[in-house]
Amino acid sequence: MQFDQLYQEIILEHYKRPHGRGLREPFGGEAHHVNPTCGDEVTIRVAVAGDKLTDVSYEGMGCSISQASASVLHDLLATLPVDEALKVHDAFVELMQGRGQVEPDEELLGDGVAFSGVARYPARVKCALLPWMAFKDAAVRAGVTVGPEVKA
Amino acid sequence: MTSLAIPSTFDVAALRADFPILGREVNGHPLVYLDSANTSQKPRQVLDVMRTHHERHNGNVSRSVHTLGTEATLAYEGAREKVAAFINAPAASEVVFGKNSTEAINLLAYAFSNASATADSDPRFRLGPGDEVVISEMEHHSNIVPWQLLCERTGATLRWFRVTDDGRLDESELDDLVNERTKLVSIVHMSNILGTINDPARIVARAHEVGALVLLDGSQSVPHFPVDVQALGVDFIAFTGHKMLGPTGIGVLWGRAGLLDAMPPVLGGGSMIETVTMEKSTFAPAPARFEAGTPPIVEAVGLGAAIDYLNDIGMAAVQAHEHEITAYALEALATVPTLRIFGPTTPEGRGGTISFALEGIHPHDVGQVLDDEGVEVRVGHHCARPVCVRYGVPATTRASFYVYTTTEEVDALVRGLDRVRKVFG
């Protein structure tokens, strides 16, 4: 059933007990993103040392999808090498923009695969992408070179 | 509000049969449409009139001598007369058609703007540094942003009424807010987020005392209860067809006699002129002056049909029905644990639009679970973000009712909210 795929247990779990929440020092770049249609907000900080992320911290308020997405993002990216983090980022964005037609790579996306159901709800895709878009901006501000802009 | 004593005089179940969409299912459940403040559903009578117009009477208006053009013009101007009668306007020529309320409000804003940039314009529409425009904190963005932009263009100052903790317009600073510097007061008749119905009497009296004009945003009032522009004493009123059983793409700016003709044109083009030379043009009187280009003809005809439909029920009966549903819903929602209502919590002086929050559960999630039950509500800031900021929430869930809403639908909403609390509790 579609609805249960949207609110998978993993998403509700991350929403109720978020991982790595809270803004931390030191950081190289910060970005604050807002979803103007619903008022969801997220602030992401990225800390980089050489070619490796050393922390991704965040604060936000919003729906279960956006806040769980930030928690999963933290789990997946916080200490990855920069190039791998960007690969995961791109895979998540592709999954969200795939209208439910993209088969997610569980090895790459971990708990992020739980969001594959969200892709079938166009009104909620922006919720899931909010922290990821903020992450990308924060990474750029932290000095990371990223590919061309992906539209949410 | 005297008409509230009139009981429901129509059979809601029979009336619902006029609305084909109310027979459909959503996610395996009967549709429970609680988003009429966003847009209303349309009865078959409106759809039929629009279809017949396209199939039998389609021609351009106000410019053809042929039969189809004449029939189309009669239908279009007939709709204008229905609108005028519906709001008790003295003359159909005071009714300007546009796309929606937003366009109606912008039309007035740009008339002010154009008058301010012209030397020989009517002083009532001239704005500059030192002049003031007054709105309120409970306005829809469509009655905030055009005035912010106008004030930026002219150097005038924007001021606003506050909202009280219980969701009423705070008029305690009326005499300070509306003063000899005020050129325009633009306030909402019924809030699209709080449901509050404002009585503009004191504001109108004060505005006119200091020589200011008053625009009333009737987007949420004209569809739901009798509105008499002469009794209200306002100078302008804006509303939209799609929230009152009509189609999208048709809205109204009504202006008191003499005022529209004192306003400079906004859009230039065909139909709005008196004569055109290569150097310069003169302009038609209102309403044609403000209706450049081919107007939304069939949409106006559809709005006329919607007005016929509402008149058949009677606006007092519409109001009485919604009052009953609102009272029922306020009581039912009060039984939902952790539910907080924004705006008046009793049915007096409020309409059938109820915003609320469930503690700790985001409105997006509330709306998504309700949708899975076939219950369609709006979630978000409802284009009234300052109200959300006022009450310290990023967004709310809003259920809004109309002439076709039943108590069973309110029950479905309450059951849905129980499920929301189970999923996220």
pLDDT one-digit tens code per residue, B311-323: 999 999 999 999 9
Average pLDDT (B73-97) is 98
**pLDDT over 50 at A123, yes or no:** yes
Q: Are B242 and B102 in contact (CB under 8 A)?
A: no
Pairwise CA distance, residues B198 & B276, whole Å = 44
Pairwise CA distance, residues B187 & A26, whole Å = 48
Q: Closest residue of A to B370, CA-based?
A: A3
Closest by Cα among B274, B307, B268 to B290? B268
Tokens of B139: 């306005």
Query: DSSP secondary structure string, chain A?
Result: -HHHHHT-HHHHHHHHS-SSBB--SS-SEEEEEEETTTTEEEEEEEEEETTEEEEEEEEEE--HHHHHHHHHHHHHHTTSBHHHHHHHHHHHHHHHTTTT-S---HHHHGGGGGGGGGGG-HHHHHHHHHHHHHHHHHHHHTT----S----
Q: Which CATH class is domain B47-311?
A: alpha beta
Tokens of B391: 């009450």
Tokens of B379: 């979630």
**Terminal Cα distance for chain A, rounded:** 26
Tokens of B380: 């978000």
Q: Minimum mean pLDDT among A104-113, B176-185, B332-341: which range? A: A104-113
User: Residue A149 has what pLDDT?
Assistant: 55
**pLDDT over 90 at B262, yes or no:** yes
C-beta atoms of A63 and B362 within 8 A: yes
pTM for the predicted model, two decimal places:
0.91
Average pLDDT (B125-129) is 97
C-beta atoms of B394 and A40 within 8 A: yes
Average pLDDT, chain A: 90
**Domain boundaries for CATH 3.90.1150.10 within chain B:** 2-42+314-424
Residue A148 pLDDT level (bands cut at 50, 70, 90): low
C-beta atoms of A61 and B379 within 8 A: no
According to CATH, what is the number of the domain B2-42+314-424?
3.90.1150.10
- The residue extents of the domains of chain A are 2-141
User: Residue B5 has what pLDDT?
Assistant: 46
| Tens digits of residue pLDDT in B149-204 | 999 999 999 999 999 999 999 999 999 999 999 999 999 999 999 999 999 999 99
| Tens digits of residue pLDDT in A22-54 | 999 999 999 999 987 777 899 999 999 999 999
DSSP-H helix ranges across B161-290: 174-177, 201-209, 229-232
- From residue B152, alpha-carbon distances to B109, B127, B146, B157 in Å are 12, 11, 10, 8
B-chain residues within 8 Å CB-CB of A38? 363-364, 379-381, 394-395
Q: Which of A3, A38, A41 sits opposite B379 (nearest CB)?
A: A38
Mutate to test the interface with B, among A3, A15, A35 (most CBs of B within 10 A): A3
Enzyme catalytic residues of B: 383
ipTM above 0.90, yes or no: no
User: Residue B8 has what pLDDT?
Assistant: 58
**pLDDT over 60 at A152, yes or no:** no
Q: Are strands B95-98 and B378-380 parallel, antiparallel or unpaired?
A: unpaired
The CATH T-level fold of domain A2-141 is Sufe protein. Chain: A (3.90.1010)
User: Residue A39 has what pLDDT?
Assistant: 76
User: Residue B292 has what pLDDT?
Assistant: 96
Average pLDDT (B10-21) is 95
Q: Locate tokens 């009668």: which residue? A: B85
Query: How far is it between the farthest Cα atoms of chain B?
Result: 71
Identify whether B43 is preceded by a cis peptide bond (ω within 30 of 0).
no
Tokens of A132: 């990821």
Mutate to test the interface with A, among B26, B358, B365 (most CBs of A within 10 A): B365
Q: Closest residue of B to A41, CA-based?
A: B394
Average pLDDT (B250-264) is 96
Phi (first) and psi of residue B230, to 5 degrees: -75, -40
Pairwise CA distance, residues B305 & B319, whole Å = 19
**pLDDT over 90 at B2, yes or no:** no
B423 at the A interface (CB within 8 A)? yes
Pairwise CA distance, residues B389 & B237, whole Å = 27
Long-range contacts of B8-14 (CB under 8 A, 24+ apart): B8/B317, B8/B320, B8/B321, B8/B324, B9/B314, B9/B317, B9/B320, B10/B313, B10/B317, B10/B321, B12/B321, B12/B403, B12/B404, B12/B405, B12/B406, B13/B406
| Tens digits of residue pLDDT in A3-14 | 777 888 899 999
| Tens digits of residue pLDDT in B237-247 | 999 999 999 99
Average pLDDT (B220-237) is 98
| Tens digits of residue pLDDT in B376-415 | 999 988 899 899 989 988 889 999 999 999 999 999 999 9
**pLDDT over 80 at B9, yes or no:** no
Residue A1 pLDDT level (bands cut at 50, 70, 90): very low
B181 at the A interface (CB within 8 A)? no
Pairwise CA distance, residues B106 & B112, whole Å = 10
Average pLDDT (B267-284) is 94
Pairwise CA distance, residues A95 & B172, whole Å = 54
Q: Are A9 and A64 in contact (CB under 8 A)?
A: no
